[in-house]
A = this chain, B = another copy of it.
Amino acid sequence: MDSVSERHGLRPNRIAVLSVHTSPLAQPGTGDAGGMNVYVLQTALQLARRGIEVEIFTRATSSNVPPVQEAGPGVLVRNVMAGPFEGLDKHDLPTQLCPFAAEVMRQEARHRPGYYDLVHSHYWLSGQVGWLTRDRWRVPLVHTAHTLAVVKNAALAEGDSPEPATREIGEKQVIAEADRLVANTAEEARQLIELYGAQPDRIDVVPPGADLARYRPGDKAAARAELGLATDERIVAFIGRIQPLKAPDVLVRAAAEVVRRDPTRKVRVLVVGGPSGTGLQRPDALIDLAAELGIADRVTFLPPQPPDRLAHVYRAADLVAVPSYNESFGLVAIEAQASGTPVLAAKVGGLGTAVRHNETGLLVSGHRIDEWADALGHLVDNPESLRRMGARAVEHAAEFSWEHTADGLLDSYTAARMDFRAIRGQLGIGPLVDTERVSRGGVVLPREDDWAAEERTSLATGPESGQTRPRALRRRRMGVRR
Contact = CB atoms under 8 A, between A and B. Distances in A.
Interface of A: 81, 83-84, 87-88, 92, 94-99, 101-102, 105-107, 109-113, 128-129, 131-132, 135-136, 164-167, 169-170, 173, 434, 436-437, 440, 442, 445-447, 449-453, 456, 481-482
A185 to B, nearest CB: 27
Given A94-B95, A102-B131, A112-B436, 11 more contacts: A83-B169, A88-B166, A97-B98, A98-B101, A105-B136, A106-B135, A106-B450, A109-B452, A112-B434, A112-B440, A113-B434
Nearest to A84: B169
Nearest to A81: B481
Question: 6 tightest A-B contacts by CB?
Answer: A94-B95, A98-B128, A95-B166, A109-B449, A109-B452, A94-B94
A312 to B, nearest CB: 41
A107 B452 contact: yes
A166 to B, nearest CB: 4
Nearest to A449: B109
Nearest to A112: B437
User: Do most interface residues of chain A lie in helix, strand or loop, or is the interface mixed?
Assistant: helix
B169 A456 contact: no
Contacts of A169: 83-84, 88, 95-96
A364 B453 CA distance: 58
B166 A99 contact: no
Given A437-B112, A452-B110, A98 B131 contact: yes
Given A98-B97, A99-B173, A112-B440, A105 B450 contact: yes
A452 B106 contact: yes
A111 B440 CA distance: 11
Nearest to A124: B95
A106 B451 contact: yes
Contacts of A95: 94, 128, 166-167, 169-170
Contacts of A101: 98, 101, 132
Number of copies: 2
A248 B234 CA distance: 69
Contacts of A434: 112-113
Contacts of A110: 436, 452-453, 456
Contact of A87 (B102, B112, B165, B452): B165
A135 B105 contact: yes
Nearest to A87: B165
8 contacts: A94-B97, A95-B170, A98-B98, A98-B132, A106-B450, A109-B452, A110-B453, A112-B440
A94 B101 CA distance: 13
Give the one of A92, A97, A434 with max B CB within 10 A. A97
A243 B22 CA distance: 39
Contacts of A436: 110-112
A135 to B, nearest CB: 6
Contacts of A442: 112
Contacts of A164: 92
A78 to B, nearest CB: 13
Contacts of A84: 169
Nearest to A436: B112
A112 to B, nearest CB: 5
A177 B9 CA distance: 40
A83 B97 CA distance: 16
A375 B102 CA distance: 51
A135 B99 CA distance: 11
Nearest to A166: B95
Give the one of A92, A99, A173, A436 with max B CB within 10 A. A99
Contacts of A113: 434, 437, 447
Contacts of A105: 132, 135-136, 450
A436 B110 CA distance: 9
Contacts of A170: 95-96
A97 B125 CA distance: 12
A87 B128 CA distance: 20
A312 B64 CA distance: 63
A246 to B, nearest CB: 25
A242 to B, nearest CB: 26
A161 to B, nearest CB: 16
A429 to B, nearest CB: 15
